[in-house]
Amino acid sequence: MTAPPYPMIRLRPKANARAIRHGAPWIFDNEIVTDRRTRALPPGSIAVLEDEARAPLGLVAVNPASRIMARVLDRDAGARIDGAWIAARLARAHEMRARLFDAPFYRLVHAEADGLPGVVIDRFGEIAVIQPNAAWAEVLLPEIGQAVQEVTGVTCVLKNASGRARVLEGLDEGSAVLAGQAPDAPVPVPMNGATYMADLTGGQKTGIFYDQRPNHAFAARLADGARVLDVFSHVGGFALAALAGGAARALAVDGSAPALDLARAGAERTGVAARFEARRGDAFAVMEALAGEGAQFDLVICDPPAFAPTKQALDKGLRAYERVARLAAGLVVPGGYLGLCSCSHAADLGRFRTACTRGIGRAGREGALIHTGFAGPDHPQHPNLAESGYLKALFYRL
């Protein structure tokens, strides 16, 4: 097979070619010979990556404007990155999800771990929402959208361009309809016996967070007959799963009025509206107010945004997680349960667990760690990319 006419980029002599051969998916700008020709490559270009001795390591997507200057696409330097290549990667990802889930509501592609670097695709029945978070995916977005339709049979494909990752790649924030017609109302999403309402055009990220599905299910097993507090609830994540699992009552707390409106709509759809309550406000302030009111709950879960999205924010983020644990622990009845979550990849499991346990102690409480949860299997981890294992959920009995 004749190699396609891709340009060549080369590793610096001190770069770790062995790590790349062993599966490292990213090459940073200080690892690449950045001569004038390389810097002139348009963002999203495909290139052959060579080691110091000019031996090919594979095909990479190049973005001279990004700190992650190259992302490995294929270990075969003779491959051709086109619609057929994309469709083959999508088919492999789709086959696994079809085995795992009874209904077509899941993360279809989880970036590097599914062989499509920087690409996130969530499926909502007949609708797919793509986040092209790398420049190469932006360039080949028409091919990605077409392949999604061919592989899955969806009739509507949306582009969501929000998020910090696109900013770091130098990409715009312009969302679009790539195929079909965008829904004019929130889309119902069945999970764990509850129905969530996802705003696919105006909500956070792609509209809903599928990653917490197994942790929602675990919390629901603790919730039978319980009074439940779901802090940072977004569209009702833990609260609705708990109510579907038999909770006596659930209070959802979030700072976003639109998110809580969707949570209320989900409670109606699930048939648990009479046992559901929402309270809008700053999570820390609401927890302090609930403590002042003498409120107590059998199960408290906190699922905050990423307090430590970068290494630079780690210390501040860990202090925030400790504070969440301290305030939440004080609201749990003796013998009750506390769930604490983090989606910060910079805060690894050990550091996060230490911060949570310290916060529980500062509240004058103690407890056993009964379960550690992670993202579901539709969010696979790339074994050479710690960032792909971002989600942690710790459950304590106090």
**Strand pairing of 276-280 and 194-198?**
unpaired
- Which pLDDT does position 1 carry in this prediction? 43
Entry pTM: 0.94
Beta-bridge partners for 53: none
Residues in the chain: 398
Cα–Cα distance measured from residue 325 to residue 285, given in angstroms and rounded to the nearest whole number: 14
- Which pLDDT does position 309 carry in this prediction? 84
For CA atoms 204, 205, 206, 208, the dihedral sign is negative
- Which pLDDT does position 203 carry in this prediction? 66
- Which pLDDT does position 4 carry in this prediction? 53
| CA 231 and chain centroid, separation | 18
Cα–Cα distance measured from residue 320 to residue 144, given in angstroms and rounded to the nearest whole number: 39
Query: Is there a contact between 41 and 7 (Cβ–Cβ < 8 Å)?
Result: yes
Name residues whose C-beta falls within 8 Å of residue 261's C-beta, 6 or more positions apart in sequence. none
Q: Following CA atoms 231, 202, 267, 129 in sequence, which dihedral angle do they give, to the nearest 10 degrees?
A: -100
Query: Is there a contact between 366 and 338 (Cβ–Cβ < 8 Å)?
Result: no
Cα–Cα distance measured from residue 354 to residue 342, given in angstroms and rounded to the nearest whole number: 13
Sheet holding 119-124, edge to edge: 105-110, 119-124, 127-132, 156-159, 176-179
Q: What is the CA radius of gyration of the chain?
A: 22
Catalytic residues: 343
Cα–Cα distance measured from residue 237 to residue 228, given in angstroms and rounded to the nearest whole number: 12
**Token duo for residue 94:** 């789709």
**Strand pairing of 227-231 and 56-62?**
unpaired
Cα–Cα distance measured from residue 49 to residue 32, given in angstroms and rounded to the nearest whole number: 9
Number of Cβ atoms within 10 Å of the Cβ of 60:
28
The crossing angle, in degrees rounded to 10, of helices 314-329 and 349-362 is 40
* Lookup result for tokens 């699930």: 270
- Which pLDDT does position 64 carry in this prediction? 96
Q: Could you report the average pLDDT of every consecutive run of 10 residues in the chain (398 residues)?
A: 75 91 94 94 97 94 96 96 98 98 98 97 97 96 98 97 88 93 96 97 78 98 98 97 98 96 98 98 98 98 92 94 98 98 93 97 97 97 90 98
- Which pLDDT does position 205 carry in this prediction? 65
* Lookup result for tokens 């990319």: 385
Nearest to 253 by CA among 267, 239, 266, 265: 239
Measured in degrees and rounded to the nearest 5, phi and psi for residue 169 equal: -90, -5
Query: Is there a contact between 188 and 160 (Cβ–Cβ < 8 Å)?
Result: no
Query: Is there a contact between 177 and 245 (Cβ–Cβ < 8 Å)?
Result: no
For CA atoms 211, 217, 218, 220, the dihedral sign is positive
Cα–Cα distance measured from residue 52 to residue 38, given in angstroms and rounded to the nearest whole number: 15
Name residues whose C-beta falls within 8 Å of residue 329's C-beta, 6 or more positions apart in sequence. 300, 338, 359, 360, 363, 365, 367, 398
In the chain, the domains with their CATH numbers are 8-74 (2.30.130.10), 83-179 (3.30.750.80), 187-397 (3.40.50.150)
Cα–Cα distance measured from residue 140 to residue 126, given in angstroms and rounded to the nearest whole number: 22
Cα–Cα distance measured from residue 281 to residue 279, given in angstroms and rounded to the nearest whole number: 7
